[in-house]
């Protein structure tokens, strides 16, 4: 029988039980639920709301339950709705009236909120550590291929030569913002909401600050209605994961492109590819494709939760039970991505010669030419126009920019000198870009060193 069955006559239909249960997915909160209950009974005893002896017995039974669930020896049933009911009824079964004191001055509304916050606190640490691992894989690729030059793209068109390491480090920067966003979010969710009761607090003389201290919450919530009603901390968490997934998806897309025959910039290790059941020659970058594809559900989960919360009247509504599956799914998906992406990147073979060959297109150095003219005193707009005219002549006469005669160059660029004929070298181009944040080798080297040190800790 359900623990709330007092005001009801008659049992529930199976369909209703199956429709309303959440234990099938919220059982993963058991350990956090037990931690919360232990701190709660300690506080109840210290405030003389329940006897100290009762608190002790409850805590002992809670640990037994934790062990049974850990070891897979605990039986779950949809009849008991959720994980909170399971643990409480087990305590009552073991301790009778003593156990019936556990739920004093507490509602499942503030309890579930506490559990989710405790859970997210742990998961965010796992994810941030996973992101560091991912960053390490990118930094070691940058380091091991620190002199590799590749074409940089804008609009997926050849733009300017860049160091491959610079490209890798661009993602390291993005992922570092993803981590710091999660840590910001953690700061906002690290608040004790227990003690809010169902909506209005309690008439019993509880001490919320003690519970906060025992569970390492630096703050307690200031409004009991806000505490049980809102899931903004979960929305924020999912938004952080969605932005992270967007970055993962872009990185994956680069890897997919680069491993195509047309680019051939990288080769993935066999263990991170799969074959085709039909075409014997195929070696597909499925891990990268799936990482890109899984971004869809991670975005979807954010939209699902925002939609669940939208338009709810104050304060707690059962709709809020629907928060967990999207939340858990995004976390599980991100953790899976973080388990495969770092080793896939770490074992990726970089084909420097292919990258350099692609970067050896003199048109990539057209900006360098225009900037040389600026150094000779030509206003940039004019320099751009003259260089553009030379590029146009070259392309209509099928002469590569680096093969143009000095006389021809002079026709389009009266300020030209012979040294300008020698600038069509990708290595020269990157080496000239030692500006803060640029792709110059020293600049990139120092950023590699920065990240290596930072990620060591
Ligand atoms: N399983 C519920 C949830 O996840 C716990 C809170 C239930 N509260 C209630 N008043 N029925 O939201």
Whether residue 291 sits in one domain with residue 161: yes
Residues lining ligand 1, Cβ inside 6 A? 22, 26, 82, 108-109, 112, 318, 320-321
| pLDDT confidence of residue 38 | 98
Q: Quick check: 324 and 26 in contact, CB under 8 A? A: yes
In a domain, 417, yes or no: yes
> Would you place residue 74 in the very low, low, confident or very high pLDDT band (cuts 50, 70, 90)?
very high
Whether residue 323 sits in one domain with residue 216: yes
CATH number for the domain spanning 25: value is: 1.10.275.10
What is the Cα 55 distance to its own chain's centre? 40
What percent of the chain lies above the pLDDT cut of 90?
94
In a domain, 243, yes or no: yes
By the 10 Å C-beta count (0-12 exposed, 13-18 middle, 19+ buried), 232 is classed as middle
If you average pLDDT over every residue of the chain, what do you get? 96
pLDDT of residue 10 exceeding 90, the answer is no
- Tell me the per-residue pLDDT of 259-278, one tens digit each, with 9 for 90 and over: 999 999 999 999 988 887 88
In a domain, 186, yes or no: yes
Strand partners, 350: 266
| pLDDT confidence of residue 11 | 77
Q: Quick check: 410 and 416 in contact, CB under 8 A? A: yes
Whether residue 302 sits in one domain with residue 246: yes
Whether residue 158 sits in one domain with residue 138: yes
Whether residue 267 sits in one domain with residue 121: yes
Number of domains in the chain: 3
In a domain, 91, yes or no: yes
CA distance 238 to 189: 13
Q: Read off the pLDDT of each residue in 282-288 and give the average, rounded to a whole number.
A: 92
32 classed as catalytic: no
Query: Pick the catalytic residue: 24, 260, 276, 339?
Result: 276
pLDDT of residue 386 exceeding 80, the answer is yes
What are the two backbone dihedrals, phi and then psi, of residue 152, each rounded to the nearest 5 degrees? -90, 145
Q: Read off the pLDDT of each residue in 372-398 and give the average, rounded to a whole number.
A: 96
Whether residue 401 sits in one domain with residue 325: no
- Tell me the per-residue pLDDT of 310-333, one tens digit each, with 9 for 90 and over: 999 999 999 999 999 999 999 999
- Mutating to test ligand 1, I would choose from 318, 322, 323 the residue with most ligand atoms within 8 A of its C-beta, which is 318
Domain that holds residue 63: 11-104
Distance 409 CA to ligand 1 centre (A): 77
By the 10 Å C-beta count (0-12 exposed, 13-18 middle, 19+ buried), 262 is classed as exposed
Q: Read off the pLDDT of each residue in 200-213 and give the average, rounded to a whole number.
A: 98
Whether residue 296 sits in one domain with residue 385: no
What is the Cα 213 distance to its own chain's centre? 29
- Mutating to test ligand 1, I would choose from 112, 234, 320 the residue with most ligand atoms within 8 A of its C-beta, which is 112
- Tell me the per-residue pLDDT of 349-383, one tens digit each, with 9 for 90 and over: 999 999 999 999 999 999 999 999 999 999 999 99
Whether residue 192 sits in one domain with residue 56: no
CATH number for the domain spanning 420: value is: 1.10.40.30
What percent of the chain lies above the pLDDT cut of 70?
100
pLDDT of residue 1 exceeding 80, the answer is no
Point out the domain boundary residue: 52, 78, 104: 104
Closest CA to 25 of 332, 305, 337: 332
Whether residue 178 sits in one domain with residue 60: no
Specify the long-range contacts of residues 389-395, CB closer than 8 Å, at least 24 apart. Answer: 391/363, 391/366
Q: Quick check: 41 and 34 in contact, CB under 8 A? A: no
Whether residue 339 sits in one domain with residue 212: yes
Whether residue 167 sits in one domain with residue 95: no
In a domain, 1, yes or no: no
Point out the domain boundary residue: 58, 74, 104: 104
What is the DSSP annotation of 148-201?
A: -EEEEEETTEEEEEEEHHHHHHHHHHHHHHHHHHHHHHHHHH-EE-TT-TTTT-
In a domain, 46, yes or no: yes
Point out the domain boundary residue: 104, 133, 168: 104
In a domain, 2, yes or no: no
| pLDDT confidence of residue 325 | 98
CATH number for the domain spanning 325: value is: 1.20.200.10
Whether residue 60 sits in one domain with residue 180: no
């Amino acid at each position: 029988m359900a623990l709330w069955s007092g005001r009801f006559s008659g049992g529930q239909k199976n369909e209703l039980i199956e429709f309303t249960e959440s234990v099938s997915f919220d059982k993963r909160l058991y350990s956090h639920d037990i931690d919360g209950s232990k701190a709660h009974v300690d506080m109840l005893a210290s405030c003389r709301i329940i006897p100290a002896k009762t608190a002790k017995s409850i805590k002992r039974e809670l640990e037994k339950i934790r062990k049974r669930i850990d070891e897979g020896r605990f039986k779950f049933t949809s009849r008991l709705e959720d994980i909170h009911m399971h643990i409480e009824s087990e305590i009552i079964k073991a301790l009778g009236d003593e156990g019936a004191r556990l739920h004093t001055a507490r509602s499942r509304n503030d309890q579930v909120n506490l559990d989710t916050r405790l859970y997210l606190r742990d998961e965010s640490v796992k994810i941030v550590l996973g992101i560091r691992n991912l960053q390490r894989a990118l930094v070691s690729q940058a380091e091991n291929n620190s002199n590799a030059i590749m074409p940089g793209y804008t609009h997926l068109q050849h733009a300017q030569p860049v160091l491959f390491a610079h490209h890798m480090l661009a993602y390291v920067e993005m992922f570092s913002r993803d981590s710091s966003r999660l840590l910001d979010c953690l700061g906002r969710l690290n608040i004790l909401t227990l003690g809010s009761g169902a909506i209005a607090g309690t008439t019993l003389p509880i001490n919320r600050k003690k519970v906060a201290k025992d569970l390492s919450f630096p703050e307690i919530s200031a409004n009991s209605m806000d505490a049980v009603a809102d899931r903004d901390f979960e929305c924020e968490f999912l938004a952080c994961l969605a932005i992270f997934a967007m970055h993962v998806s872009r990185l994956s897309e680069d890897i997919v492109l680069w491993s195509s025959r047309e680019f051939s910039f990288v080769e993935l290790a066999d263990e991170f590819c799969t074959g085709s059941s039909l075409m014997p020659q195929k070696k597909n970058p499925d891990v990268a494709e799936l990482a890109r594809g899984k971004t869809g559900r991670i975005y979807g989960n954010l939209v699902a939760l925002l939609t669940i919360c939208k338009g709810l009247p104050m304060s707690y509504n059962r709709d809020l039970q629907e928060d967990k599956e999207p939340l858990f799914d995004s976390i599980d998906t991100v953790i899976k991505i973080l388990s495969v992406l770092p080793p896939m990147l770490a074992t990726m073979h970089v084909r420097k010669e292919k990258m350099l060959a692609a970067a050896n297109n003199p048109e990539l150095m057209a900006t360098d030419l225009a900037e040389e003219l600026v150094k000779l005193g030509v206003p940039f707009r004019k320099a751009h126009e003259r260089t553009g005219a030379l590029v146009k002549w070259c392309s209509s006469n099928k002469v590569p920019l680096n093969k143009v005669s000095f006389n021809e160059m002079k026709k389009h660029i009266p300020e030209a000198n012979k040294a300008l004929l020698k600038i069509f070298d990708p290595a020269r181009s990157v080496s000239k870009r030692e500006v803060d944040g640029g792709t110059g080798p020293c600049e990139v080297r120092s950023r590699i060193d920065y990240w290596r040190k930072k990620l060591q800790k």
